[in-house]
Every structure is written in structure tokens, then in C-alpha cells.
Amino acid sequence: MQHSTQRPATDSGTVTIGGDLTVYRLGFGTMRLTGPGIWGPPTDRQEALAVLHHALDLGVNLLDTADSYGPEVAESLIAEALYPYPKDLVIATKGGLLRTGPNQWPADGRPEHLRKALEGSLRRLRLDRIDIYQFHRPDPRVPFEDSVGELAKMRQEGKIRHIGLSNVTLDQLARAQ
């Protein structure tokens, strides 16, 4: 593929999310900016920060992250590298998983955990509102409606612009609507 610019993300076309967020189809996922097993800090912090800058230099305007990446490392790196953020940057993050060690990802969909996770993400990312907050994975021990209901409350409070769901069934997707 030949690019018409030195910013290949801008050549990818755009997609509109939630009716009001237009982003390039090529975004950047930050999971691998952390240490081995998606646990702890990166081996080379300066390189991780440079990668984030390079993504924006390539035209990326959508970053996908999660509080569980590190844990908390990827979100902190984003703020360290890019704050204050470019006006067109959309940050999507996720909550609903715990990290108890490398490669361990137990779900925690309790409303109080989701609220605490969102508040932590807002603080680490230095934001008043998350553009897209995604429920990382339903917790089989918590009624799905309780988890999604808490996200809806936080959106009504102005802390979330759009809610996303990850790792859900078609039935859960229909129930969330």
C-alpha cells in the first residue's frame, strides 16, 4: 500500500463512533507498552514514551488502553508522553478486570469496582471525562445489568462520553442497549 502522506493513519479513512467522535480507522493499542506479561513498567520507559509520540506523528488520533495494562502503567505513560493532549485525540480505556500477577486477568464487574477503576483512569490520564469507557469483560459473579447500570450512571454524571463493551455475547449486547 502506498501512502499519500507521511501520516499513514490519515490514509486509513475515518469512522464515527457514537455519532460524534470521528477517528481514523488506524488507532493504537497500548497493551504492549508495559512489561513482560503486560505486568509492570516497560523495559525501556523512554522508548515507550517515544512510541506514543510516534503514533501521533503517524496521524493516529485514537488510543486504546486499560487500567489493567501494567496495571495502571499504560494509562500513566499516555499522560506522561502526551498531556496536554491534542484536541482531536480520542482516548478509549477499559475497566472491569483485576491484575493479581503477570498473565492473570480475573474479572471484577462489581459496580463499586467499576467506579473506582474509572476514577483511577480519570486521575492517571488527567481527564475530567473518558471519551470511550469500555467494560473489559463481564463478571459471571455479578449481574450484567448491575455492571452496565453503573457505567450508565457514570455517563449521566458526565464522567464517560460513550460506553463500550468488550468480550460480550450477542444477548448481553442486546440487554445493554
At residue 66, the 3 state secondary structure works out as coil
Going by their DSSP bridges, the two strands 21-24 and 14-17 should be labelled as antiparallel
The catalytic position among 69, 83, 85, 133 is 69
Contact 133, 163 (CB under 8 A): yes
Active site residue 69: yes
Contact 23, 14 (CB under 8 A): yes
CB atoms within 10 A of CB 175: 12
Burial class (CB in 10 A: 0-12, 13-18, 19+), 99: buried
Give the residue numbers annotated as catalytic, written as ranges.
69
